[in-house]
Structure 1
Amino acid sequence: MNAGSRRFRRAVPAALALALPLAALAACGGGGTTGATAEKGSGTGTITVWAHQGQESEATAMQNAVKSFNSSQDKIKAKLTLIPDNDYTKTITTTDASKLPDVMEFDGPTMANFVYNKKLAPMDDYVSSKTLANATDAIKAQGEIDGRHYGLGMFDSGLGIYGNKKLLDAAGVKYPTGVSDAWTAEEFTAAVKKLAAKDSDGKSLDLQENNGYATEWGTYGFAPIVWSAGGSLLENGKAEGGLDTPEVASALKTFQGWKKYTDSNTDGNAFAKGRVGLSWVGHWMYPTYSKALGKDLVVLPLPDFGNGSKTGQGSWQWGIGANTKNGKAAGAFLDALLNDTNVAAMTTANGAPPGTKSVLAKSELYKQGGPLQLFADQLAKPCGDSKIDKSCVAVTRPVSAGYPTVTAKFSQALSDIYGGTEPKTALEKAARAIDQDFSDNAGYQLP
């Protein structure tokens, strides 16, 4: 793993780090036909809590939240176990449901698979209505299945294009001010070419190639092209007819054409060092980029391929273990964990968009007029994982127990396309593989 990918893991474990090999997670789908429900219990005693051990500042914020909860009352004691990020999803997947904790964190896209395997229970009866109401719509979209909530997050994520104002101005490139006037795909390509013409090596764009594309970055980072072209990764349990459309193939042909202008970014510093004028990445790079560019940093939406500019969203969430004997105590802990103090501390630690309405409105980075207002504006128009039309912007990755197969096949297709494979061929292959897997697993029907 090179320095760039290490930095990626450290900077954004919350948004993208599906640490378990995805095919392995998919293979665990035995599923059942009835959902799991948690026992209410006494609402007192000791509860166990598992969390991923992300960057040091995140771990400290989590430890402080648990200490604060334990000292604030004497009925419930939360016992926290931090598990290394790279082992976390695998640990949940390989642990029998009966041995999982009362409360656990999980990477958002894995939720449906854990529900399918009866490892998570709905939390609606145990967390307060105030906690649910304060969650942003985008957070709820990621954590909801059939009207029941299985996950709530302290923070979210988002994508955009960072621009170097000095280089853009020098090349005579006009750029958007927000989602409403996002570049079209053609305008974005023209901007890339104009910048390249002024660059000594002809490279003007960073697409985080250093993270690889046959990875969760491939799906998270570039599924927005599919959605913006009017397509989908999965619709009504099928990829064919949504992923392999002519419009999606054309859009990814455009993506393929950017390769000649893209810095491979092996050192992770292509944008920060001024080698390129545009960087397609997420909120997590703001601290580094802001420090490097200062007032020359501009934050722009992703280009519009016809169905409106789109962004990914979703991150780590919290849920209640299906086999808990104390759902009432678990809910009380989650109410405390998701209060303003703890959400503000965690999002200050990791720089992510707050997952609650109250903290988001006051965030120095994301509030109206803040430097990252664009990300908040995008998340304020959630699509969920369906009904992806021009009126919405932030799209949830498919909430399906078969998501690991979806992302594995799509990201491989994306990587192949970037490497020169004809988009139509790669997309049709991916769609067939996804649909075959879903057929083999009875559509991964959730309880």
Structure 2
Amino acid sequence: MKKMMKRVVAGALALSMTVLMAACGGSDESTGSVAQTSSGSTAGATSIKVWVSSGAEDDVYRETFDKMETELGITINDEYYPKDELDSKLQVAPVVGDAPDMIVADYLLIPGYYETGMIQPIDEYISDDLKSDLLQSVIAESTYDGKMVSTAQFDSGLALWANKSMLEEAGVRIPTSYTDAWTKEEFEDALAKLKASGVEYPMYLRQNNPSSLYYTYMPFVVSFGGDYMNRDTMLTEGALDSEASIAAFDYISWMIDQGYVNAACDYEDAFYGRKESALSLTGHWMYTQHVDALGDDAIIIPIPDFGNGVYTCTGSTVWAMTTAAVDNGVADAVWSVMEKSMDPEHINMVTDVNGAIPSRLSVMEQDPELQEGGRLYLYREQLEANIAVQRPLTPAHMTIYSAMQSAIADIIAGADAGETLTATAQSIDDIIVENGWNIE
């Protein structure tokens, strides 16, 4: 990454007024641009500003920050924004002098902010003992340009959620480990059997939010032999538009044509509520809904092997210190919050809600569901087997994310995968090259 040119700074400045207007206007993920703010405050204490990418963990974070204010004697002004709006605000924050001291966001956003000089490395803060207790996947996502730039309370868990009773009634074999995952042929046989048994749409892909498929569908793409980006050139050409990647997205069209996926689904509960699907390609974040609705019928099984192995995806929400914290003289206070977030108590507060994998090995060992025979053991097994792949760690993340959201929506709506991905790759690479985000 050191070879990357730093023209992104000039680009951010040149676009500052445009992005500022976008930041003030909200995003398509929110009904308004007014931040949701925690009410906790400790008058007279050291004060830090935290911007959080809004999601399923918001209430837990509010509770966590309230507890930390008491434990650390620090006033934490936490504000919550949808991902797109947060990104817009962070792009202009250095220009308008409004940068937060800490960010809680998708790890893929961090490289772009690092390249603009906004992220403060934490190597001088994090202890060897804490680092040695972290999952390797967490260290990988928290490392950029050879430096540790964030911490994480959890890593994601991704497999297929399945309705056990539906599979049994259809006579479908239930794999319990990535080592006995379905082959492509077995998967297609399972879909056919489920359909024949009366399951209306055997597979749920979260069609109503195609941007999430950029993450959840990646194991399919890699198992077909494809990828989103050439990791040597940091361009999408030859990867996103490759025959293998096109075949992977053609497969979505095939499942729709067969009646296995409902392309018109605009709701979240097809699997756990309406029970019109027996399989769901969603991750740990749906743990509560699935378990509350289905009880013991809610199980996870590995994503099938489509010819090039079985994979899962890795990545999570990270906590990062900004250079504004240093400029504001609150870097030590920010680190105390980041360090406190890694206490077992605070990790469990989050993972008990979202069903994710604790980032610390010592904490993971205390969770019965992550022990062999536990409901979520497959998540752990996959990470420990090193079959998890990362989405491209690049300053171009939001460019790729937005482009793939449109491309996947078009494919679900019936567009040709080859034509769509070829055009998408070209549009992404034009922006990457313009900003110097590729490796020459």
Task: Establish whether TM, by shorter chain, passes 0.5.
Answer: yes
The CA distance in 2 between the partners of 1:106 and 1:151, in whole Å, is 10
The CA distance in 1 between the partners of 2:324 and 2:359, in whole Å, is 26
Offset of residue 370 of structure 1: 1.9
Preserved CA contact (<8 Å) 2:9 2:115: no
Offset of residue 422 of structure 1: 2.5
Preserved CA contact (<8 Å) 1:138 1:380: no
The CA distance in 1 between the partners of 2:59 and 2:373, in whole Å, is 26
The partner residue of 1:66 within 57, 65, 68 is 68
What does 1:362-381 align with in structure 2 at a 5 Å threshold?
362-381=366-385
Matched, 1:353 2:360: no
Matched, 1:421 2:379: no
Preserved CA contact (<8 Å) 2:288 2:354: no
Change (3 A) 1:300 1:189: same
TM norm structure 2: 0.81
Offset of residue 153 of structure 1: 0.9
The partner residue of 2:79 within 78, 82, 86 is 82
What does 1:322-333 align with in structure 2 at a 5 Å threshold?
322-325=323-326, 326=329, 327-333=331-337
Preserved CA contact (<8 Å) 1:218 1:415: no
The CA distance in 2 between the partners of 1:340 and 1:142, in whole Å, is 20
Which position in structure 1 is the counterpart of 2:207?
209
Which position in structure 2 is the counterpart of 1:244?
241
Matched, 1:195 2:194: yes
Query: Number of matched residues?
Result: 391
How big is the alpha-carbon RMSD for the aligned residues of Structure 1 and Structure 2? 2.8
Preserved CA contact (<8 Å) 1:135 1:152: no
Which position in structure 1 is the counterpart of 2:288?
287
Change (3 A) 1:140 1:68: farther
Q: Which amino acid aligns with 2:254?
A: G
Deviations 1:345-372 (CA, angstroms, capped at 9, x unpaired): 2222433221222212212333333211
Which position in structure 2 is the counterpart of 1:91?
89
Offset of residue 114 of structure 1: 0.7
Offset of residue 141 of structure 1: 1.4
Which position in structure 2 is the counterpart of 1:303?
304
Offset of residue 439 of structure 1: 1.2
Q: Which amino acid aligns with 2:217?
A: F
The CA distance in 2 between the partners of 1:220 and 1:180, in whole Å, is 22
Matched, 1:127 2:126: yes
Offset of residue 146 of structure 1: 2.7
The CA distance in 2 between the partners of 1:218 and 1:173, in whole Å, is 25
Unaligned runs of 5+ residues in structure 1 are: 1-23, 32-44, 72-76, 382-391
Q: Which amino acid aligns with 1:90?
A: S
Which position in structure 2 is the counterpart of 1:225?
220
The CA distance in 1 between the partners of 2:244 and 2:129, in whole Å, is 42
What does 1:268-279 align with in structure 2 at a 5 Å threshold?
268-272=268-272, 273-279=274-280
Which position in structure 2 is the counterpart of 1:176?
175
Offset of residue 122 of structure 1: 0.8
Preserved CA contact (<8 Å) 1:48 1:78: yes
The CA distance in 2 between the partners of 1:189 and 1:266, in whole Å, is 24
Offset of residue 85 of structure 1: 4.2
Preserved CA contact (<8 Å) 2:65 2:76: no
Which position in structure 1 is the counterpart of 2:427?
433
Preserved CA contact (<8 Å) 1:244 1:424: yes
Change (3 A) 1:334 1:267: closer
Deviations 1:289-311 (CA, angstroms, capped at 9, x unpaired): 22222222321111222222222
Q: Which amino acid aligns with 2:59?
A: S
Offset of residue 149 of structure 1: 1.0
The CA distance in 2 between the partners of 1:289 and 1:50, in whole Å, is 31
Which position in structure 2 is the counterpart of 1:28?
12
Deviations 1:197-220 (CA, angstroms, capped at 9, x unpaired): 1217x4222111122x2x2x1201
Deviations 1:52-80 (CA, angstroms, capped at 9, x unpaired): 26555313432244135315xxxxx3533
Partner-residue secondary structure (3-state), 2:208: helix
The CA distance in 1 between the partners of 2:217 and 2:112, in whole Å, is 22
Offset of residue 270 of structure 1: 1.7
TM norm structure 1: 0.80
Deviations 1:289-344 (CA, angstroms, capped at 9, x unpaired): 22222222321111222222222222211111113334344333322221212212
Change (3 A) 1:123 1:350: same
The CA distance in 2 between the partners of 1:168 and 1:371, in whole Å, is 16
Preserved CA contact (<8 Å) 1:361 1:367: yes
Partner-residue secondary structure (3-state), 2:320: strand
Change (3 A) 1:335 1:445: farther
Which position in structure 2 is the counterpart of 1:8?
none
Matched, 1:336 2:340: yes
Q: Which amino acid aligns with 2:50?
A: W
Offset of residue 416 of structure 1: 2.2
Identical aligned residues as a percent:
27
Change (3 A) 1:167 1:349: closer
Stretch moving more, 117-126 or 57-66: 57-66
Which position in structure 1 is the counterpart of 2:255?
258
Partner-residue secondary structure (3-state), 1:104: strand
Change (3 A) 1:89 1:199: same
Moved beyond 6 Å, runs of 4+: 24-27
Q: Which amino acid aligns with 1:337?
A: S
Deviations 1:137-179 (CA, angstroms, capped at 9, x unpaired): 1111112113211111112222211222222122121121111
Matched, 1:412 2:406: yes
Change (3 A) 1:56 1:434: closer
Partner-residue secondary structure (3-state), 1:417: helix
Deviations 1:364-392 (CA, angstroms, capped at 9, x unpaired): 333333211111222224xxxxxxxxxx3
